[in-house]
Amino acid sequence: MNKNDLVLALSKHTPTRREARRIVDFIFSRIIEEIVAGEKVMISGLGTFVPRRYRAKMMYDPRNRSRRVVQQRVKVRFIMSKLLRQRMNAGEKDRA
C-alpha cells in the first residue's frame, strides 16, 4: 500500500477525493514535524516511530584505503505494537 492507495481507501468515507488527500497529507505532515522535532510518535495498534541520533565516527574506506569521518545523523526506528506483532504472527501458528 502506498500513499495514493491510502487516499483511495479514505475517499470512500469522505465527500471528495481531494478532502481525503488533505487528511492524509495533514496526518503525514504532523508525524514528520514531530519526528523532526525529536519527539517519538506513538500510533495505537500500529507502533512507535522513534528518532535515534547516531554520533559521528571514523570508518575505513576499503576502495581507496583511507579513513573517513561519518557525520552525526538521525535515523527513524519503527517499533511495532504488541497488537500488530500478535496479528502478524498469528499466521505462523497455522504454517508450523
pLDDT digits (tens, 9 = 90+) for 29-77: 999 999 999 999 999 999 999 999 999 999 998 888 899 999 999 999 9
* Predicted confidence (pLDDT) at residue 96 exceeds the cutoff of 70: no
pLDDT at residue 63, as a whole number: 87
Alpha-carbon distances, residue 61 vs 5, 57, 72 (angstroms)? 41, 13, 17
Full domain range(s) for residue 12: 1-37
The count of structural domains within the chain is 1
In a domain, 4, yes or no: yes
Contact between residue 24 and residue 8 where contact means Cβ atoms under 8 Å apart:
no
Residue 85 is assigned to a structural domain of this protein: no
